[in-house]
Amino acid sequence: QVQLQESGPGLVEPSQTLSLTCTVSGGSISSGSYYWSWLRQPAGKGLEWIGRIDTSGSTNYNPSLKSRVSILVDTSKNQFSLKLGSVTAADTAVYYCARLTVLKGFDYWGQGTLVTVSS
Amino acid sequence: DIQMTQSPSTLSASVGDRVTITCRASQSISSWLAWYQQKPGKAPKLLIYKASSLESGVPSRFSGSGSGTEFTLTISSLQPDDFASYYCQQYKRYSATFGQGTKVEIK
């Protein structure tokens, strides 16, 4: 059973960079044709896809965030990571990592981690 | 960008009711549509993929239909565990977009 777990600071100051890591367990991040993704959800609002990466390092990002986002993968640690620069209060949200399959969409999710942007 | 419009935003229903949620895409997405259920404080859970395929372990009272730009999620007989928020999501090409969600409340 694949499991994903987000980790990283819960508080980030405005204008700084938000950094999160997702650790995948229960299987190799390199096995199968999957895309490893980040999503977020502000309190009381809907879901927003941030971007995805495959294990070759190929990425796709949400156009609305593309200028500030970077997603990397570390296959040796079975992890992938998110960096979101120049954050503002509008970036305060629960951030999820998830596995995206071509056939099914997002089939495995982390439990989510709340990141608050505040000084 | 492909926009997803979901309706209604809120739905009040009783246990045993048949419930239908609609999702419309701004352009054709073939059958590349998934439905998720989300409960407060929890991650979304995949219910339906490829518009009408039931994810393993999901009760058969959930069903999906549609193709192109019009899709529906139907719960044939609403159960107490089904009161939650539901989201559609397109995964055509290299992006993913969600509908704004439908909250199913107890009537």
Average pLDDT, chain B: 96
Interface test with chain B among A47, A62, A104, by most B beta carbons within 10 Å: A47
Cβ separation B98–A46 shorter than 8 A: yes
The confidence score (pLDDT) of residue A33 equals 85
Task: Give A104 to chain B, closest Cα distance, Å.
Answer: 5
Cβ separation B95–A62 shorter than 8 A: yes
Residue by residue, what is the 3-state secondary structure of B32-97? CEEEEEECCCCCCEEEEECCCEECCCCCCCEEEEEECCEEEEEECCCCHHHCCEEEEEECCCCCCE
Task: Tell me the backbone φ, ψ of residue A110, rounded to 5 degrees.
Answer: -75, 175
Each residue's pLDDT tens digit, A26-81: 999 998 889 999 999 999 999 999 999 998 899 999 999 999 999 999 999 999 99
Task: Give B8 to chain A, closest Cα distance, Å.
Answer: 14
Task: Give B20 to chain A, closest Cα distance, Å.
Answer: 19
Q: Which residues of A touch B29 (CB under 8 A)?
A: none
Q: Which residues of B touch A109 (CB under 8 A)?
A: 43-45
Residue A82 CB coordination number (10 Å) = 24
The confidence score (pLDDT) of residue B94 equals 75
Each residue's pLDDT tens digit, B6-58: 999 999 999 999 999 999 999 999 999 999 999 999 999 999 999 999 999 99
Instruction: Indicate the SS3 state at residue A75.
Output: coil
